[in-house]
Chains A and B, each alone.
Chain A
């Protein structure tokens, strides 16, 4: 049964038109010729098709950076960092981009247990956790069945308890990671200024403006507005289209 599922997933994955590497190299060539806007458009096309790679995002970020689209650039770097948190080039370019827009939004270093927690979350991908949950569920039931019907050995019982604990853990993590992915709590300001309003209403008072490329925490959301919080604690509502969530 499991193998059938895996087969359907691989079928879905291998659905593509032209080899992406070719197009990636074409974009790289445009970048080398200093045609940054076009290069960025090429990279973005690959990203829009759903390819997920830190390298792709870094290149796109560089092209955006060079064509002065700082919002998109920072978004791409942040995305690359999300995929590959340890990448030095990404960290460096992100810092440069933030420096260029004059953002002092350097997140505080994490405490050790926060780091552990982040590492734990990154142990598997979102779907990794979900697949793990399923696999553990199967193992658990097989162990239980064997114990029940075939052999009542104490070892089996211990194995059963262990699998049950792991299953619960994986399920909880899968749910948590999925929830986090669904409700992104970090946004980047896109295209010029974002006007921050006092209420989620286009006619409400304008509190302040946020520059393109600034990183915001998304606290709350309605259909058309995000409630955002800045590093310095200021909060307000911005229209959905003016920021892009990670």
Chain B
């Protein structure tokens, strides 16, 4: 009987394999196999070899291999049996020999040959290790009459499977060697070189031919992988596997789908199992087992099965001691080479999906208002790392309010390789009315079989968005302007003024600044010129004062000859005053005796000034009270010439 309990996550696996049990295997398929009772035999030890044919239709011939290195002690014994289990019929034909080796060494026995349905089939070859005989063995194992593959229902007694035999430790037999050969762990990996994200299935199996109670003490951590365990039957079911001719019970400890998360050489940690192996030790041969005399025992099995010399031998041993031997086993670490995904042609939308996938994307609406929400369901179905798939990005514009997608998984638990679907439910709230388009959903994955990237793309989602009722919100703004509402837009603009180009720094600016300066300069220049002109006239007059005066005097001389008295005096007076005006730069209007005196004071001698004024007085007198003498006129004339020339001389001196 097998009891297996798994306690929580500790995965404590207890195996109890009993020798009395043979698992009924409902095998409808054709099988042809070779089994030996022991792979290691002593030189003088006999062992049994059995060729089993299951469900062989039209068996016409069954030939054993050549036993050239062995003596045939017994056989051939052929056994035919038929069983019907769960409605399935199983026909078993077995050919059994009892052999004894002739020499020490390793020998390979080729499989038996059978002609089935006209086709020649061969069973598996078996290697037998023959060692030196140890001690004085007085008994040989007796051949079994019942093949161990025999279905339970057929046997007249519980089959003492060949598993029995390894449990028996004979004298001098190396226990450790025995344990090593009959109980071990094996890791099966379906692939050893994969791409990042590609599935690897690792199966940890316990092979045993012994009676053992086993605890799994260390489970692998699977560093660098995302692991998904395959559910195993509980209690565990043993399967029978033949390794090198020996039949083993195989318990699957753990079966895991692994998805490498990084590239490089990743190691699968070993699993460790603690076994308590029950071994049977044979002591001295003294008395018969009580149990065998029990009539009930006999009743159960009908006729006496213990007539068999083997059982006689076995049960006659009175001191059969059981010993529980602790034995720790560890599986070999397995290295898996993980290739990085190619970087060339990697699509932008790639998020790490590896496998073979299909995508469907559906939007639930085509027309909606800004109050509604659009639901887009994207379902990605396929085989690969479905459990690690990330949501494809939907590049919706700002016109939509986006929410994180809801993820729903529909992964087939029993699938291997992992397959199933993952659904992403996106919700979009349009913010704006009008014709909008939600861009296509793009999903890309890496196909490890073809070694290339594939891009899946849904069609675009054109939408007609109408203005929703929440326009009311804007209206409410006037009365109830919430803390988080925008102030409303302005209906009009106060003045449509354009941004004028900057004036500062432009040539126009500088021109306008410089212009008044230029104008000012112009005015000043003009005034200056005018002034100069005036000044220039004065200078000339000053220079020519003498000449002008002389011309006037000439005129006066003519009047003198013509005896025009009045005109004569007028002319003299004009000549003198004119001379003074020009010479002293006094305008005619301002001219007065006083001013003249002031001007001449420090420039001209006193006598000359007196003479000048005397002349002017004379002229005035003559003008208003004419004195008629021609001599006095002559005198005045000469006096005028005299005064002017004297003044001219003296003023020249002063001016120079």
Contacts and interface: CB of A to CB of B under 8 A. Distances in A.
17 contacts: A1-B512, A1-B515, A24-B492, A33-B467, A50-B498, A52-B499, A53-B495, A62-B489, A127-B502, A130-B502, A130-B509, A134-B509, A137-B512, A140-B516, A141-B517, A149-B527, A181-B502
B493 A56 contact: yes
Contacts of B493: 20-21, 24, 51, 53, 55-56
Contacts of B509: 130, 133-134
Interface in B481-539: 484, 486-500, 502-505, 508-509, 512-513, 515-517, 519-520, 523-524, 527
Interface stretch (B160-168, B431-439, B602-610): B431-439
B303 interface: no
Interface string A170-194: 0000110110011000000000000
A124 to B, nearest CB: 11
Interface in B98-115: none
A56 B434 CA distance: 23
A121 interface: no
A160 to B, nearest CB: 13
B505 A67 contact: no
Interface residues of A, number: 64
Contacts of A21: 492-493, 496
Nearest to A38: B434
Interface stretch (A88-96, A220-228, A229-237): A88-96
Contacts of B504: 126-127, 129-130, 133, 174-175, 177-178
Contacts of B513: 133-134, 137
A34 B500 contact: no
A90 B399 CA distance: 23
Interface in B435-485: 467-468, 471, 474, 484
A130 B506 CA distance: 10
Contacts of A65: 486
B52 interface: no
Interface string B377-405: 00000000000000000000111000000
Contact of B498 (A13, A92, A177): A13
A75 interface: no
A51 B497 contact: yes
Contacts of B498: 13, 16, 49-52
B534 to A, nearest CB: 15
A67 B492 contact: no
A174 B506 CA distance: 12
Contacts of B492: 21, 24-25, 55
A116 interface: no
A140 B516 CA distance: 9
Given A141-B520, A178-B502, A35 B497 contact: no
A96 B484 CA distance: 7
B432 A32 contact: no
Given A5-B512, A52-B497, A34 B433 contact: yes
Interface of chain A: mostly helix, strand, loop or mixed:
helix
B208 interface: no
A149 B523 contact: yes
A66 B516 contact: no
A245 B523 CA distance: 48
Interface in A76-128: 88-90, 92-93, 96, 126-127
B275 interface: no
A37 interface: yes
Given A131-B503, A141-B516, 7 more contacts: A16-B498, A34-B433, A36-B399, A36-B432, A55-B494, A126-B503, A175-B504
Contacts of B516: 137-138, 140-142
A175 B487 CA distance: 36
B370 interface: yes
Given A36-B431, A67-B432, A149-B527, A126 B502 contact: yes
B339 to A, nearest CB: 31
A204 interface: no
A55 B491 CA distance: 9
B520 A34 contact: no
A38 B436 CA distance: 12
A50 B509 CA distance: 22
A34 B468 contact: yes
Nearest to B518: A141
A68 interface: yes
A58 interface: yes
Contacts of A44: none
Contacts of B471: 32, 34
Nearest to A20: B496
Nearest to B510: A134
A145 B523 contact: yes
A102 B524 CA distance: 67
Contacts of B519: 141
